[in-house]
Each structure stands twice: as structure tokens, then as C-alpha cells.
Amino acid sequence: MHDLGATLALFFQAFVIALSGALAPGPLLTVTISEALGKGTRAGPLVVIGHGLAELALVSAVAAGLGPLLKPPPVVGTIGLVGGIMLLLMAAMMARGSAQAARQAVGALNAGREGTPSSASSGSLRCILLGAAASLSNPYWALWWITIGLALLTKALQISLFAVGAFYIGHILADLVWYWGVAFAAARGFSWLSVKGYRAILLACAAVLLGMGINFGLRGGMTLFSPR
């Protein structure tokens, strides 16, 4: 029962943190809007499939090859502390840049709906490959996985392989929900969020990330510096 509760908590954490990252304008948002003009609403899930396959390969490699190396308390504590600090920085940057990020995201949606469908966006495989390429070529994606992603994955490995699966599903589900909605809005020609509404969501996510960052940092520090 304890493992189930910890796994569900990890699932929720993975979902919220991933959703917060997805809300920030980046390459995946641009690709999703561009492809939705020619492919329609299903461009969202297709782009996320490519994104998810890249992340599945990474999660599988870490879980299979690095799992034993991530279990000693000093390693767990260090990763947790670094991950917590990164979450705090992410929360601060998200709150500080919420107004600009909201304008950029809503502006991208509005620009997308005024665009012309492109014949180059016709293939499903293209959407999947672009989703993977947008992830792998984004320096922020690698930084996220080295710090926050690794902290979550290490936490999952301390619970069970089932928890690793829950972490991955929660992470990808957040991307799927958001980018499917973005593709729907772009394909149907309207934006369902105002700049003010988008900023409110960003600020709410920043507040949640702040709490998680404090929790991760404290737990990591206690594990790292507790006497053995």
C-alpha cells in the first residue's frame, strides 16, 4: 500500500512538472502548430509519439544500465538536491517570465490559425520524426533530463519498476493532453485561452513547482547529509 501511494504521488508529480514544461513555448509547440495546419488535430498525438519515443529510449537506458548506480544514498541525495534546486529555479523563471511566455504562446496559436496548410505536413511519419527531432535538438530537453528528470527517475527506481512506468506515463500524458489541445486549437482556427488565462495557469504551475522544489531539496539534503 505504501508503494502504491508513493507511486501515485510520483505519477502526479511527473504529470504536473511535465505539464509546466510543456506550457513554456518551445520547439515542440512550434512543430505542433505547424503540423496541425496540414494534418489536423491528430498532429498533436503524433508529435508526442515522436517526443515520447525519444524519452522512452532514455528512460529505458537509465533504468536498465544505470539503475544500480543510482541507489546509494549519497547519489540519491545529490540528485534530489540538484533536482530540487532546478525545480526552484524553474518555478522562479516561470513566474518571472509568465507574462512574456503567455503572449508568445497565444501569439503563436493566433499566427498558426492564420497560416496556410502545407502539403509538406501530410505524412504521419513526418510528425513523429519532427517530434523526436524537436526534443533531441533542444538543449533545454537534455538539461531537464540531467537534473529534474533524473531526480524523478531516481525516486521511481527507489520504489519499483512499476513506479518507473508510472513516472513515464504521467510525464507523457501531460505532453499528450497539452499538445493535443494545441493541435485542436490550431486546426480548428481558434485559441481557447487568453493571454491573461494562460498566464494564470503558468503562475499556478510555478507555485506547484515551488512546493515540489522545496520538498525535493529538503529530502535530498537530508539524505545526503544525514549520519550513517
CA angle 182, 205, 45 (to 5 degrees): 25
Q: Please report the pLDDT score of residue 228 as a whole number.
A: 59
Q: What are the grid coordinates assigned to 7, written together? A: 507511486
CA distances from residue 8 to 14, 15, 84, 154 in whole angstroms, order as listed: 10, 11, 19, 15
Q: Please report the pLDDT score of residue 50 as a whole number.
A: 94
- The residue range of the domain holding 203 is 2-225
Q: Which sign does the torsion angle of CA 175, 136, 102, 124 carry?
A: negative
Task: Return d(Cα 98, Cα 202) in angstroms, integer.
Answer: 6
6, 162 contact by CB (below 8 A)? no
- How many CA atoms lie less than 13 Å away from 14 in the CB half-sphere? 27
**Residue 40 falls in which region: left (phi positive, over 0), alpha (psi -120 to 50) or beta:** left
Q: Please report the pLDDT score of residue 117 as a whole number.
A: 47
Residue listed under C-alpha cell 506515463: 169
Report the Cα 148 to chain-centroid distance in Å: 10
Q: Please report the pLDDT score of residue 180 as a whole number.
A: 92
Total domains present in the chain: 1
CA distances from residue 133 to 8, 19, 61, 152, 208 in whole angstroms, order as listed: 31, 20, 19, 23, 29
Q: How many helices (H) and strands (E) does the chain have?
A: 10, 0
Q: What are the grid coordinates assigned to 24, written together? A: 513554456
What's this model's pTM, rounded to 2 decimal places? 0.77
206, 96 contact by CB (below 8 A)? no
Q: Please report the pLDDT score of residue 169 as a whole number.
A: 95
In a structure prediction context, what are the per-residue pLDDT tens digits for the chain, which is 228 residues long? 458 888 999 999 999 989 888 887 777 887 888 788 777 888 899 999 999 999 998 888 877 776 666 667 787 788 788 888 888 888 888 788 888 888 887 777 676 555 444 444 447 888 899 889 888 877 678 778 888 888 888 888 888 889 999 999 999 999 999 999 888 887 776 656 678 887 887 888 788 878 878 887 888 888 878 765
Q: Which amino acid is at 176?
A: L
Task: Return d(Cα 35, Cα 89) in angstroms, integer.
Answer: 32
**97: DSSP letter:** T
